[in-house]
Amino acid sequence: MTRGQLAVLAQNLPCTGMVNATEAYLLTTLINTAPAEAFDKGGRPIIFKSNQQLAFEINRSAGRVSRLLSRLFDAGLITMQDSGNYKRYPTRDVEGVIVDGCGIDLRILIVRYRELDELVRQARVEKAAANAALRRYRGTLRNLRRALASAYCLPQRIRARLEVRLEKVATLVGIATRAPSALLLRATALLEWFVERAMRLPRRPEVAFAPQDSACRCAESGMHRQSTSPDSHEESSDSQCTATAGPMTSARELTPDAGRRRAVKQPRRSRQEMVALQDILRAIPALRTYGLALPRSWADLARIAPQMCRIAGISDDARRRAVDQMGEHRAAVAIAITLQKLDRQEVSSPDGYLRAMTERAGSGELHLSRSIFGLAARYTMEPLP
């Protein structure tokens, strides 16, 4: 164990709650006071400085240093052995090597290094999870408010109900930075369901919340059409399935028995499989901005992917990696999202952003539908030709 490793550990201990910043500062000072060879195997890292000297070095009073040392002792980070007159001094052998002494011993810190380092790592993981929950909650809350503002064809009764529920959830959470992660995750799940209601999207392809006739015409042209039957795709023509579901929804067999067998194997599909080509076109107005031909099929979208890469400054290597990992059509959707965020100045490195999406797709953490629906909620566009 080296002195540098212990010093870094002492600086990171406040994140675990075992010590505060002042106590960690004193512990770091004690570690830096001992010679480096004292932390080698068989060494004796014992500090013989008085409280007055330590108080001068950390700019505190001697009484404050005494209390800080007591707290470090109670936390099991140091041991102390004082003489009868409360003096600290080393005991040396005939060769001048320190064999014992009265002072502040740091050997217990060396013994507990692995345990304390694991506590620091766990604290970092918990903090990262809390930050992720906070970001997801804020993003979902923002998407819901934009969805309520842009869903002009939503019935007033449903809109008012969603707004009331939104305020209740926001009041329950309170200050988001002070709310626990479990509460933020539960609130985020409710807000995501509210977003689906505001955008008139079914939560599952097998179960629908409302009959298809209840959706107004503008909802049918701008968002997903709701279905009341899990076999509704069987009744539509092949061309209509291609225009609405696209390659991101695996085609259901045309026989009811085959459809039921697939429902048994996959009772719940991921939300990103429900993205339609019309939703993508409404969420990516940058296609018109840069004069690209609007795709009328998924093959057209994949065909203009290299053009989008040249406009956004995405390398061919990043595009090939995305195609290899996600497939041609999903990669085209990811490239379109990158182009749109570049147009909104939300991405400074499009090539790196696409590579990050490719890595997330490899680990199963990429949700293209959330990005598409979030972008679509920001715009109220005219009907497509």
pLDDT, tens digit, 9 for 90 and up, residues 159-209:
888 888 888 888 889 898 888 888 888 888 888 888 877 776 544 343 333
Give the number of C-alpha atoms closer than 13 A to the C-alpha of residue 61, restricted to the C-beta side. Answer: 3
Residue range 86-95, pLDDT digits in tens: 677 777 666 7
* 227: pLDDT strictly greater than 60: no
Amino acid at 135: R
| Residue 270 CA to its chain's centroid (Å) | 18
Name the band, by pLDDT with cuts 50, 70 and 90, for residue 31. very high
Confirm if 112 and 76 have CB atoms less than 8 A apart: yes
**Quick check: helix, strand or coil at residue 180?**
coil
**Quick check: helix, strand or coil at residue 135?**
helix
* 377: pLDDT strictly greater than 70: yes
Residue range 263-305, pLDDT digits in tens: 444 333 343 445 778 888 888 888 877 778 888 888 888 888 8
CA neighbor of 218 nearest in space, from 153, 277, 278 = 153
Checking 80-89 for CB contacts under 8 A at 24+ apart, the result is 80/104, 80/105, 81/105, 87/50, 88/47, 88/48, 88/49, 88/50, 89/48
Q: How far apart are CA 199 and CA 154, in angstroms?
A: 8
Percentage of the chain lying above the pLDDT 90 cut:
18
This model's pTM is above 0.85: no
Name the band, by pLDDT with cuts 50, 70 and 90, for residue 236. very low
Cα–Cα distances (Å) from 38 to 33, 76, 116, in that order, read: 10, 20, 20
Give the ranges where the chain is alpha helix by DSSP (H).
3-12, 21-33, 51-58, 62-74, 107-111, 113-150, 156-173, 181-198, 217-222, 232-235, 238-244, 256-265, 277-283, 286-289, 298-303, 305-312, 316-326, 328-343, 350-362, 368-376
Q: Please state, as a whole number, how many other Cβ atoms lie within 10 Å of the Cβ of residue 248.
A: 21
Determine the average pLDDT of the residues in 352-377. Answer: 85
Residue 377 DSSP symbol:
T
φ, ψ at 88 (rounded to 5°):
-120, 125
Confirm if 88 and 102 have CB atoms less than 8 A apart: yes
pLDDT in the model for residue 209: 36
Check residues 214 and 75 and name the one with the higher pLDDT. Answer: 75
Name the band, by pLDDT with cuts 50, 70 and 90, for residue 21. very high
Confirm if 87 and 101 have CB atoms less than 8 A apart: no
Check residues 245 and 36 and name the one with the higher pLDDT. Answer: 36
pLDDT in the model for residue 97: 65
Percentage of the chain lying above the pLDDT 70 cut:
75
The length of the chain in residues reads 385
Tokens 């008012």 correspond to: 160
Would residue 59 be called left, alpha or beta, if left means φ above 0 and alpha means ψ between -120 and 50 degrees? left
Name the band, by pLDDT with cuts 50, 70 and 90, for residue 100. low
